[in-house]
Chain A
Amino acid sequence: MFATLSPTRASFRAKPLNAVRLTNVGKRLDERPVLRDISLEIAAGEFLAVLGSNGAGKSTLLKLLIGMITPDEGNVELFGESLRTADPAIRRRVGYVGHQSMLYRDLSARQNIAFFAKLYGVDDVKVKTDAILRTVGLLERGDDAVKTFSRGMTQRVSIARALVHNPDLLLADEPFAGLDARSSEGLEKLFTRMNAAGRTIIMVNHDVPQSLRIAKRAIVLSNGKVESDRPTDNVDPELVLAEINGP
C-alpha cells in the first residue's frame, strides 16, 4: 500500500514549482499593442533566453515580470503568487539587470551595493557586499565612485547590485552589453554556476549563438507574440535567426 502511494507522492513533490507563469498577458503602450496574449510557464531552476528583434517586446516582458509595469490583460504570477495581490516582499526573491546601470554615480561601488543590500533586508551587509564585489572582480576598486568606472565595470557593479540579495529569480536585460571578452566569459560562468545551484534565470540577449550555448530553453518573440519555444539542445542557430528576422 505504501509502495503504491509513494510514487504518486514523489511525483507530486517532484513536480517543479513554477517560478513564473503568465496567462494570456497583453500589454499596450499608448494604445499600441506591445505584448499580445502571452502564456508562458517557466519552471524553477530553468535558464531561459528571450530572443527577438528590436521592438518585439522583450524588455517589456521583463518589466512586467519585475512589476515595473502592470499588464492590461491577463495575469502574471511569480512563485505561485499573482503580482496584482502579492506582498511587496516577493520582490526580495527577484533580481533585475536593466539597460541602465540603476546605480548612483556619485556613490562608490561599495556604498551602492550596501545601500541596495540593506534595502532588500540582507543581513551581514558588509560581508555580502565584499563577497559579491569579489565575484564580479571589483573588490579593489570598491571604494571608487561609480562615475569613474568604464562601461563594462559599471555593468559589473550593476550585476552585483542585482545579485547581492541572492535572488531565486534573475531577470537580465542584455547583461552582456558593454562587457569585454574576459568579463563576458566570467559572467557566462557565473550564470551557469547560479543556474546549477537552482536559481532561475531569464535573460534577454542579442547574441543568438551565446544564448543557445548557455541557456537551456529559448523563446523567440515576434510582434509581441511567442513565435517559438524550444529547448536549446541541438538547435540550429540559423533557424532561430531566421525566426527572429521574420519572413
Chain B
Amino acid sequence: MLKRISNVGFWLITAGLFTAAMVRLIINTPDEQTMGPIQKIFYLHLPVAINTFLACLVAFVASIGYLATRKTWWDDLAAAGARVSVQLCTIVLLTGMIWGKCAWGQWWTWSPRLTFSLVLWLLYTVYLIIRSSIESSERRALICAVYAVIAFLDVPLVYLSVRLMPDIHPSHIELAPEMKATLILFFIAVTAFTAGLIATKYGLNRVERGLHNSSETRATVATVGGFASC
C-alpha cells in the first residue's frame, strides 16, 4: 500500500487537491473580520499541525512495532514518520510565527501553543540526531524506537504543562460555512501530502538499507580477501 501511495499518480492527485484548495482559498473564501487576509495562513497552519501529530503517531506505532517484532521495516517506517513530523512541525512553527508577527507584532511569544510546537520540534529533531550518531544498525533501531516511544508519551505531558503558561492564542475560532469547507479541503490535501511524504521517505529508507547491506557484504568480503592474500 505504501508503494502505491508514493507513485506519480498519487502525487498528481495531491497536487490537484492543493491547487483546488488554493483556488478556493483565494476566490471563494471571505477574509476574516479582525485579522484580514493574513488569517488565511490558518488554513494551512491547522491541517499541518494536525498532520504533524499524525506523523508522530506513525513514528510511535512503528517504534512499538519494531520493539515487538524487531523487523527492520518497522524501523524504516518510524524514521520516515519522525523525519516528516520534523518537516511539518517546521512549517507549523513558521506559519505560527508569521501569524504571531501580524496578530501580536512579535515573531515569537512564549504562548502555550507556540511553545508546544517548539518542544515537539525539538523532541523529534533529537530523534533524527540520535539516528545519525549510532553506527550499529541494530542498536540504532532499538534505541531510536525506545526514544520515540518515550518522546511520544512525553507529548501529552508537554501539552498539559504549557497550559499552565499565560495564553494569548485564539482558543476557539468561529468559522463561516465557506471557511469550514476550505479548511476541510486543505486538510485533505495536507493529509495526502503527509502520507505521500512518509511513503516516499519509507521507500528511500528501504532502498538505502538494501544498498548498505549489499555494499557492506562486499566490503567485508574484500577485507577478508585482503588479509588472506597478505
**Would B138 and A29 count as touching, CB distance under 8 A?**
yes
* Shortest Cβ distance from residue A223 to the other chain B in the assembled complex, whole angstroms: 9
**Would A31 and B228 count as touching, CB distance under 8 A?**
no
- B contacts, CB < 8 Å to A: 72, 136-138, 213, 216-217, 220, 228
Flag whether A15 is at the interface (Cβ < 8 A): no
Complex CA gap A246/B229 in Å reads 12
* Shortest Cβ distance from residue A5 to the other chain B in the assembled complex, whole angstroms: 51
**Would A246 and B228 count as touching, CB distance under 8 A?**
yes
* Shortest Cβ distance from residue B64 to the other chain A in the assembled complex, whole angstroms: 20
Flag whether A30 is at the interface (Cβ < 8 A): yes
List of A residues within 8 angstroms of B72 by Cβ? 31
8 Å CB interface, A7-38 against B? 29-32
Residue of B nearest to A246 (CB): B228
14 contacts between A and B (CB under 8 A): A29-B136, A29-B138, A30-B136, A30-B137, A30-B138, A31-B72, A31-B137, A31-B138, A31-B213, A31-B216, A32-B216, A32-B217, A32-B220, A246-B228
Complex CA gap A103/B147 in Å reads 30
List of B residues within 8 angstroms of A29 by Cβ? 136, 138
* Shortest Cβ distance from residue B90 to the other chain A in the assembled complex, whole angstroms: 32
Residue of A nearest to B213 (CB): A31
Chain B interface main SS type: helix
Complex CA gap A32/B224 in Å reads 14
Chain A interface main SS type: loop
Residue of B nearest to A223 (CB): B224
8 Å CB interface, A74-112 against B? none
List of B residues within 8 angstroms of A30 by Cβ? 136-138
- A contacts, CB < 8 Å to B: 29-32, 246
Q: Which 6 interchain pairs have the tightest Cβ spacing?
A: A30-B137, A30-B138, A30-B136, A31-B213, A31-B137, A32-B220
* Shortest Cβ distance from residue B215 to the other chain A in the assembled complex, whole angstroms: 12
* Shortest Cβ distance from residue A224 to the other chain B in the assembled complex, whole angstroms: 12
List of A residues within 8 angstroms of B213 by Cβ? 31
Complex CA gap A21/B89 in Å reads 53
List of A residues within 8 angstroms of B217 by Cβ? 32
* Shortest Cβ distance from residue B136 to the other chain A in the assembled complex, whole angstroms: 5
Residue of B nearest to A247 (CB): B228
* Shortest Cβ distance from residue B10 to the other chain A in the assembled complex, whole angstroms: 31
Complex CA gap A30/B142 in Å reads 12
List of B residues within 8 angstroms of A31 by Cβ? 72, 137-138, 213, 216
* Shortest Cβ distance from residue B214 to the other chain A in the assembled complex, whole angstroms: 11
Interface centre among A29, A30, A246, by most chain B C-beta atoms within 10 angstroms, is A30
Complex CA gap A31/B211 in Å reads 13
Complex CA gap A175/B123 in Å reads 45
List of A residues within 8 angstroms of B138 by Cβ? 29-31
Residue of A nearest to B217 (CB): A32
* Shortest Cβ distance from residue B203 to the other chain A in the assembled complex, whole angstroms: 19
List of A residues within 8 angstroms of B228 by Cβ? 246
Residue of A nearest to B220 (CB): A32
Complex CA gap A29/B217 in Å reads 13
List of B residues within 8 angstroms of A32 by Cβ? 216-217, 220
* Shortest Cβ distance from residue B72 to the other chain A in the assembled complex, whole angstroms: 8
Complex CA gap A30/B137 in Å reads 6
List of B residues within 8 angstroms of A246 by Cβ? 228
* Shortest Cβ distance from residue A172 to the other chain B in the assembled complex, whole angstroms: 26
List of A residues within 8 angstroms of B216 by Cβ? 31-32
Complex CA gap A246/B228 in Å reads 9
* Shortest Cβ distance from residue A222 to the other chain B in the assembled complex, whole angstroms: 11
Complex CA gap A246/B227 in Å reads 12
Residue of B nearest to A31 (CB): B213
Complex CA gap A31/B213 in Å reads 8
Beyond A30-B137, A30-B138, 12 additional contacts (C-beta under 8 Å) are A29-B136, A29-B138, A30-B136, A31-B72, A31-B137, A31-B138, A31-B213, A31-B216, A32-B216, A32-B217, A32-B220, A246-B228
Complex CA gap A214/B145 in Å reads 47
List of A residues within 8 angstroms of B137 by Cβ? 30-31
Complex CA gap A30/B212 in Å reads 11
Complex CA gap A100/B213 in Å reads 30
Complex CA gap A31/B228 in Å reads 23
Residue of B nearest to A55 (CB): B224
Residue of B nearest to A53 (CB): B227
* Shortest Cβ distance from residue A238 to the other chain B in the assembled complex, whole angstroms: 19
